[in-house]
Amino acid sequence: MENMAIFDSPGKGRGLKATKEFWAGDVIFSEPSLAAVVFDSLAERICHSCFRRQEKLQKCSQCKFAHYCDRTCQRAGWAEHKQECGAIKAYGKAPNENIRLVARLMWRLDKEGSVVSDMQLITVEELEDHVADMQEDEIKELKVDIHNFLDYWPRNSKQHTIDDISHIFGVINCNGFTVSDQRGLQAVGVGLFPNLCLVNHNCWPNCTVILNHGKIELRSLGKIAEGEELTVAYVDFLNLSEERRRLLKTQYFFDCQCDYCKNGTKDDLKLAGREVDGVKPSEQQVKEATDYCFQKLETMDKARLDGDYHQVVKICRDVIDRTEPVLADTHIYLLRMWSTLSEVQAYLQYFNDAAEYSRKMVEGYMKLYHPNNAALGMAAMRAGVNHWQAGLIEVGHGMVCKAYAILLVTHGPTHPITKDLEAMRVQTEMELRMFKQNEYVYHSMRDAALQNKPMTMMHEPKGVEEGIKNLFHRRK
């Protein structure tokens, strides 16, 4: 932690600044969680110790709630689960994820004190809870959680005041970090990482956060000068500046004053019309196409969640046919349609269509996102796989290489998804050489390789996130 220092950030309160120069891909710090829990909805599908998704998990024989990969994971998670196990048995059921996380935090702090390691820069007591800033409905939810927590909390554990309990609920409400699965493709839980809470927001940040082998890593996206503030994006830059400000105000209780918000940077691109040979559509045409896209998004999302994928394809195709001639390739609603259609078509194994729309999505993203944005890297990876599946090896290899270069910075060489990409890069490079030497031999071998499907991202669409869009977990 000698590479950074706490300082008073103008207009933001406490922040972290670099005490040395960093370059793209440097790990500024890594930090284990004080406590972490699996989401309620995934409690039976994710290991409660290592947060891996497994087909078959072993259930805790005592509480019947916690699930583990095997005995090794169960033993590794016992220190955290021991008191929780007894509390769940006594309570009769597992409470919600917020209550479980607060309880795990309090058991650990009661046992080890407010500072659990030499690396910890701030205590939970010192973190902001923003309880005073909550809306009326949030206060009602908080009171319900506190009431249920008191019923759940064992009588033989150390007792705490309502104010102390309320503080920790507030802390995790605005500082709980979303924990992803081992490949970084889906949010599976929430944890608290105190040092990360000190890193302030910027819509165009100089750092990114990734979970790697059980710890979060703060990684530099580019050159950071000594004395420069370290920042991350709490919300996705693909939102318009007005929407980002609204999300930041309602979820994190501050008004963003970054240059990208104040100047509305790239907002024009995100709602732009398509220019062809110097001719632009009228403002009215762009508005009508934008409104039509927006109206169809909710219908499309519902069909996707219902698993009606052919209906998703029908909606997306209708919207794209009507609006693609009018809207620019950076228009955020058109990008949503391309993204969803490419994902669903890949799942339905219409690989040529999936490749086309994922390529368009990446080209639009490249004009909007930071060159080392993780969402751009994940989109390029998906496009690379889609092109490979379609037999378009030249574009596929290029996309895989682009994704690999970005994820080397954002995830690092040891992350499982980067290792997957390295294997893809080697394979597509070999196939590209074969393609250039003899196309017939290449296609023959590709057909055989497809039977084994060595590369795939054809997960069921409703179960895959496009990347973790919001840095911190907020209960909706």
Q: Are 180 and 157 in a shared domain? A: yes
Q: What is the pLDDT of residue 450?
A: 65
Q: What is the pLDDT of residue 425?
A: 95
Q: Are 138 and 236 in a shared domain? A: no
Q: Are 209 and 168 in a shared domain? A: no
Answer whether residue 449 is part of any domain: no
Beta carbons of 329 and 275 less than 8 angstroms apart: no
Q: What is the pLDDT of residues 201-250, one digit of tens each?
A: 999 999 999 988 878 999 999 999 999 999 999 999 999 999 999 999 99
% of the chain at pLDDT higher than 90: 80
Last residue of a domain, one of 377, 395, 412: 412
CATH number of residue 303's parent domain? 1.25.40.10
Q: Which whole number is the average pLDDT over 445-450? A: 71
Nearest Cα neighbor of 430 from 465, 455, 380, 393 is 393
Answer whether residue 215 is part of any domain: yes
Q: Are 29 and 43 in a shared domain? A: no
The token duo for 166 is: 């309320």
Answer whether residue 440 is part of any domain: no
Q: Are 48 and 21 in a shared domain? A: no
Question: Which residue range is the domain that position 395 belongs to?
Answer: 267-412
Edge-first strand listing for the sheet containing 187-192: 35-38, 187-192, 177-180
Nearest Cα neighbor of 193 from 214, 175, 206 is 175
Alpha carbons 208 and 233: distance in angstroms, whole number:
8
Answer whether residue 390 is part of any domain: yes
CATH number of residue 48's parent domain? 1.10.220.160
Q: Is the pLDDT assigned to residue 467 strictly greater than 50?
A: no
* DSSP code per residue over 136-152: HHHHHHHHHHHHHHHHH
Last residue of a domain, one of 187, 215, 234: 187
Least confident of 131-140, 351-360, 462-471: 462-471
Answer whether residue 457 is part of any domain: no
Angle at 386 between CA 322 and CA 55, to 5 degrees: 115
CATH number of residue 228's parent domain? 2.170.270.10
pTM of the model: 0.88
Percentages helix, strand, coil for the chain (3-state, rounded to 5) are: 50, 15, 35
Local structure of 191: helix, strand or coil: strand
Q: Which whole number is the average pLDDT over 187-199? A: 93
Alpha carbons 139 and 154: distance in angstroms, whole number:
24
Q: What is the pLDDT of residue 185?
A: 67
Please give the tally of structural domains in the chain. 3
Across all residues in the chain, what is the average pLDDT? Answer: 91
The token duo for 277 is: 């040979």
Q: Which whole number is the average pLDDT over 92-115? A: 95
Q: Are 149 and 18 in a shared domain? A: no
Q: What is the pLDDT of residues 126-135, one digit of tens each?
A: 999 999 999 9
β-pairing verdict for 231-232 and 200-201:
parallel
Q: Are 380 and 308 in a shared domain? A: yes
Least confident of 48-52, 339-343, 378-382: 48-52
Last residue of a domain, one of 355, 387, 412: 412
Answer whether residue 75 is part of any domain: yes
Q: Are 292 and 385 in a shared domain? A: yes
The token duo for 305 is: 């969640």
Answer whether residue 421 is part of any domain: no
Phi-psi region of 64 (alpha: psi -120 to 50; beta: other; left: phi over 0): left
* DSSP code per residue over 213-250: TTEEEEEESS-B-TTPBPEE-SS-TTS-HHHHHHHHHH
Q: What is the pLDDT of residue 280?
A: 92
- DSSP lists the bridge partners of residue 27 as 219
Q: Are 239 and 166 in a shared domain? A: no
C-alpha distances in Å from residue 250, one per residue of 84, 235, 243: 32, 12, 11
Beta carbons of 180 and 211 less than 8 angstroms apart: yes
Q: Is the pLDDT assigned to residue 182 strictly greater than 80?
A: no
Alpha carbons 387 and 395: distance in angstroms, whole number:
7
Q: Are 169 and 88 in a shared domain? A: yes
Q: Are 119 and 70 in a shared domain? A: yes
C-alpha distances in Å from residue 372, one per residue of 91, 110, 205, 227, 338: 47, 41, 11, 22, 21
Q: Are 198 and 251 in a shared domain? A: yes
Answer whether residue 136 is part of any domain: yes
